[in-house]
Amino acid sequence: MRTIQGLALLQILFFRFFFQRSSFFIFIGFAVALIVISQVQPLSLEKIRTSITDIASPVLGFISRPASSVSNIADNIESIVAVRKENAKLREENSRLMLWQPLVSHLESENLALRKLLNVIPDPDSKFTTARIVGDAGGPFVRTLLVAAGENQGVYKGQAVITHGGLVGRIVEAGNSSARILLITDLNSRIPIVLEKGRNRGILVGLNTDTLEIQFLPLNAQPDIGDRLVTSGAGGVFPPGLPVGYISDISEESIQVEPWVTFDRLEFVSILDYILPGIMPSTRRAGLADMID
């Protein structure tokens, strides 16, 4: 009896030793297989990944709610501590804004009359879907977020994603009930922008850091620290006028931009269904849903 137990123990120890020695090579082989599949049949791999994401998103959503609740409690405590000071500041700002109200109304009426006179074509309308962020699907080399809404809720590849602070990114993968957002800070992000002051156009590039960089700005442009940036609408990927960030640093090598959005505090986002078709596989309302697998 003891001999049988000893043999069984030796077998267990042998398999454990074999697995520990060979697990590294098994994972390497699995990684190589995934790379080969992604090159040979990228659509199949994307469908598998979106299917796994659809299954995991409800679980991630359930897990994220307690963490969101704790974060909300901390935010509420901070708000209560500063409520008197904030109220006084808001009253002061409200008084200043009330002084501007007659002027704004006059300019709005004048602008409407000039548009009718010049027969200006208005910007295309856009609808939106609001959804919860349920996970961080990124890593050290990619910056993406997972949202609990997919094609069943009208979310498609190529749509812009915003929050109350400004532009978040765009949808790069959409499953039935989940989607992946490529953040504007990702290295693969390229956004046509325009400086509010001077109306100079350029391309905002992600760096996989907390800041971004402006490229292809005209040589005669004279940007200043604090200048605000908005989307230009060039290419039709993003609607024009979405706030993106502000210039935080200027040097001989680069122009750094601080985004308006605080990405580590995102809970809900709005996904725009912009009707102007662009260079990406576009939205249902643009009539190109058949192009989306």
| Lowest mean pLDDT across 12-16, 90-94, 213-217 | 12-16
Instruction: Return the closest-CA partner of residue 148 out of 123, 126, 131.
Output: 131
The last residue of a domain, from among 100, 118, 136: 118
CATH number at residue 212: 2.40.10.350
Residue 234 lies in a domain: yes
Full domain range(s) for residue 75: 60-118
Residue 201 pLDDT > 50, yes or no? yes
Confidence of residue 292 (pLDDT cuts 50, 70, 90): very low
In a domain, 55, yes or no: no
DSSP string, 137-201: ---SS--EEEES--GGGT--TT-EEEETTEEEEEEEEE-SS-EEEEETTSTT-EEEEEETTT--E
* In a domain? residue 233: yes
Name the residue with higher pLDDT: 208 or 121: 208
Alpha-carbon span 257 to 217, nearest angstrom: 13
- Pick the closest to residue 193 from 271, 257, 249 (CA basis): 257
CA distance 45 to 49: 6
Q: Are 268 and 162 in contact (CB under 8 A)?
A: no
pLDDT single digits (tens) 51-91 = 777 776 666 665 556 555 556 666 677 777 777 777 878 88
Give the whole-angstrom CA distance, residue 135 versus residue 58. 10
The region of weakest confidence among 74-78, 86-90, 95-99, 211-215 is: 74-78
Does pTM top 0.75 for this prediction? no
The kind and range of the H/E element at 134 are strand 126-135
CB-based contact 157:203 (threshold 8 Å): no
Q: Can you count the helices (H) and strands (E) in the chain?
A: 3, 12
Residues 6+ positions from 73 with CB-CB distance below 8 Å: none
Q: Is residue 117 over pLDDT 80?
A: no
Assigned domain for 13 exists = no
- The answer as to whether 200 is a domain residue is yes
72 falls within a domain: yes
- Whether residue 71 is contained in a domain is answered as yes
pLDDT, mean over the chain: 77
Q: How many residues does the chain have?
A: 293
Section 170-195 average pLDDT: 93
Pairing of strands 268-274, 160-163: antiparallel
Q: What is the pLDDT of residue 182?
A: 94
Domain count for the chain: 2
pLDDT tier, 224 (very low <50, low <70, confident <90, very high otherwise): very high
Supply the pLDDT for residue 279.
45
Whether 79 maps to a domain, the answer reads: yes
